[in-house]
Amino acid sequence: MFSFIKRFKEYYGLNFAPKLYEVLIEGYTKEAFKKDCMSGLTIAIISIPLAMALAIASGVSPANGLYTAIIAGFFISACGGSKYQIGGPTGAFVVVIFNVIAQYGYSGLLITMIISGIMLIIAGFLKFGSYIKYIPYPVIIGFTSGIAVLLFSTQIKDMLGLAIENVPVEVLPKWRSYFANINTINYTAVVVSIIAFAAIIGIKLKYPKLPGYLIAVIVCTIIVAVLPFDVDTIGSKFGDLPHFLPKPSVPEIHIDLILKVFPSALTLAFLAGVESLLSATVADAMSGDNHNSNAELIGEGVANIACAFFAGIPATGAIARTATNVRSGATSPVAGIMHAVFLLGFLVFLAPTAKFIPLACLSAILIMIAYGMFDQQKFFGLLFGQRGDRLTLLVTFLLTVFIDLNAAISVGFIMYSIIFMHRISGVVGAENLIEYSSKGRDLSEEMIKQGVMSIRLSGPIFFGGASKISTFFKKIDSTPKIVILRVGNVPYVDVSGINVIYDFIKKAKKHNTKIIFSNLKPQPRLVISKFLRKKRITKDITYATDFPRAVKIAARMLRQMKIGEMTTN
């Protein structure tokens, strides 16, 4: 029993231990703590307006966004696999959250978060973290760009101060609603939005190290509080913010609701996994550290489940905040934990001041976030790139904007997989090398006359390219005595490829043709030999380490055949 526990601890520590544990056992100094506190304070200042703005855009109160930034910020840093990851609500989740709440209510969102959290934890323990990198790049860019357009579309009402009680969820009806109510525009809200844009862009250009979002909020809040501006504020729309975290509570779970929200939970898990690991990779590139992707997924899962218990919204690693954390001099996950502590301090001591924040200012912040999410260089680079990448990008983007997020991910992934397999199948080739080679690397003219054929296969032989090999085999109309299959350039064979080779071997056996496999790689050799043993076809099959050795074996076989013919005669 104790040996099992010891092995489990060793396995857990090796594969899933959070970075915080690694940092603490290596030794954590007072100087490192000071640096982490300063970095945590910097990130907290940035996170305050973002958390509230993203929560409002998601269809919940700003308090839910602050709860999420505090709870997720703590658990992602404490349980995750990155030294520098900063967790919290992000723009990628806004549309998903809004749609789930619109269909199933806030209780449906909480169940969605729990399911997605469990998925992420299971994915981490199954070591799926390393597989996230295989998600096609055009799918990620098309999806995030589509979300950026949707996020931008949600902010027009507050930015212009339009008097619309119920804004449609779908993007086209939403814009029709905006144009139909353009006569209700609030020019005071427009002025506030312009001031916010000017502050954010001006500070970013002249003083990039300063927290532009927070300064924009402070400036706009003071203007609205001092001047008689008639605009919607957090206080007029949502009331006062609470002074502390809510008591943890477990949401009611119903089987029918679980089944309904399951696709959305898959989308949330996908988004959380992709964005968190992308963020951790960015942090690694900036710091030289290496994150533990499996522990990161587990941390994301724990954080989302915890947020569900504390009236939060979905969270993941935030790339911009994480990068700022690295630049601010953070040394460990303690910086992320302190960021959560400082946010809690804001909630306790400064929450009453938040009621004066104008919604038009928060809309400006979210539009800037949407602009940052839409990476024009990457989007148009793919758009004018290869045809397959362009089609995948456009299909994923258009499905995200106009149809459904789940459909966008599924169709985009399947579409690119098919395109990828088509490209790989183009690498698969078979060449009949019966022509004499003056350099002596292939068969001599004498061996060819005696009935020896050499066939070179190249590239992975899988279901995408197996038909090409099969077609070639069927075109061989001669009946050779010996066939040398040169497979040194075949790194992989799947079940479709095995069956094509098997059909060729059966055809050869009908004519008593012997087969020599030359230079089989480990995976093809294991698969082919195991399959042939299972089919009980091992006679007349020989394996050679390289082509010269295969030629010698063929020459020996020819001599044996001649001796057999002479004996018979």
Work out the pLDDT band at 467, boundaries 50, 70, 90.
Answer: low
Mean pLDDT, all residues of the chain: 83
Q: Alpha carbon of 72 to those of 66, 203, 250, 326, 341: distances in Å?
A: 10, 28, 17, 18, 12
Position 427 pLDDT exceeds 60: no
More confident of the two residues 94 and 431: 94
Same domain for 445 and 374, yes or no, is no
Same domain for 183 and 314, yes or no, is yes
Q: Please tell me the distance from the alpha carbon of residue 126 to that of residue 262, in angstroms, as a whole number.
A: 20
For 301-322, how does the pLDDT look when each residue is reduced to its tens digit (9 = 90+)? 999 999 999 999 999 998 778 8
Q: What is the per-residue pLDDT for 78?
A: 93
Q: What is the per-residue pLDDT for 195?
A: 93
Residue 391 lies in a domain: no
More confident of the two residues 401 and 427: 401
Position 468 pLDDT exceeds 70: no
User: Total domain count for the chain?
Assistant: 2
Which of 103-107, 221-225, 565-569 holds the top average pLDDT? 103-107
Are 143 and 400 within 8 A, CB to CB? yes
Q: What is the per-residue pLDDT for 461?
A: 74
Same domain for 221 and 86, yes or no, is yes
Residue 411 lies in a domain: no
Position 476 pLDDT exceeds 80: no
Position 423 pLDDT exceeds 60: yes
Same domain for 344 and 482, yes or no, is no
Of 380, 413, 437, the position where a domain reaches its end is 380
Same domain for 231 and 104, yes or no, is yes
| DSSP secondary structure string for all residues of 399-451 | HHHHT-HHHHHHHHHHHHHHHHHHHHHTT-EEEE--S--TTSSS--HHHHHTT
Residue 14 lies in a domain: yes
Position 9 pLDDT exceeds 50: no
Residue 402 lies in a domain: no
Work out the pLDDT band at 436, boundaries 50, 70, 90.
Answer: very low
What mean pLDDT is predicted for residues 297-302? 94
DSSP state of 250: P
Residue 316 lies in a domain: yes
Q: Which CATH number belongs to the domain containing residue 506 in this structure?
A: 3.30.750.24
Q: What is the per-residue pLDDT for 506?
A: 80
Q: What is the per-residue pLDDT for 85?
A: 94
What mean pLDDT is predicted for residues 197-226? 88
For 486-523, how does the pLDDT look when each residue is reduced to its tens digit (9 = 90+)? 888 888 787 777 887 888 788 777 778 888 888 888 88
Of 380, 415, 437, the position where a domain reaches its end is 380
Q: What is the per-residue pLDDT for 269?
A: 92
Residue 404 lies in a domain: no
Same domain for 367 and 443, yes or no, is no
Residue found under tokens 């949707």: 150
Same domain for 143 and 226, yes or no, is yes
Of 380, 410, 437, the position where a domain reaches its end is 380
Q: Please tell me the distance from the alpha carbon of residue 523 to that of residue 173, in angstroms, as a whole number.
A: 54
% of the chain beyond a pLDDT of 70: 88
Same domain for 75 and 142, yes or no, is yes
Residue 101 lies in a domain: yes
Position 471 pLDDT exceeds 70: no
For 28-74, how does the pLDDT look when each residue is reduced to its tens digit (9 = 90+)? 888 999 999 988 988 888 888 889 888 988 889 999 999 999 999 99
Q: What is the per-residue pLDDT for 241?
A: 82
Residue 422 lies in a domain: no
Helix axes 359-373, 187-206, angle to 10 degrees: 50
Position 234 pLDDT exceeds 60: yes
Rg, C-alpha atoms of the chain = 31
Domain assignment of residue 501, given as a range: 429-568
Q: Which of 113-117, 327-331, 427-431 has the lowest mean pLDDT?
A: 427-431
Same domain for 376 and 433, yes or no, is no
Q: What is the per-residue pLDDT for 493?
A: 82
429-432 β-sheet, strand order:
429-432, 452-458, 482-489, 514-518, 541-544
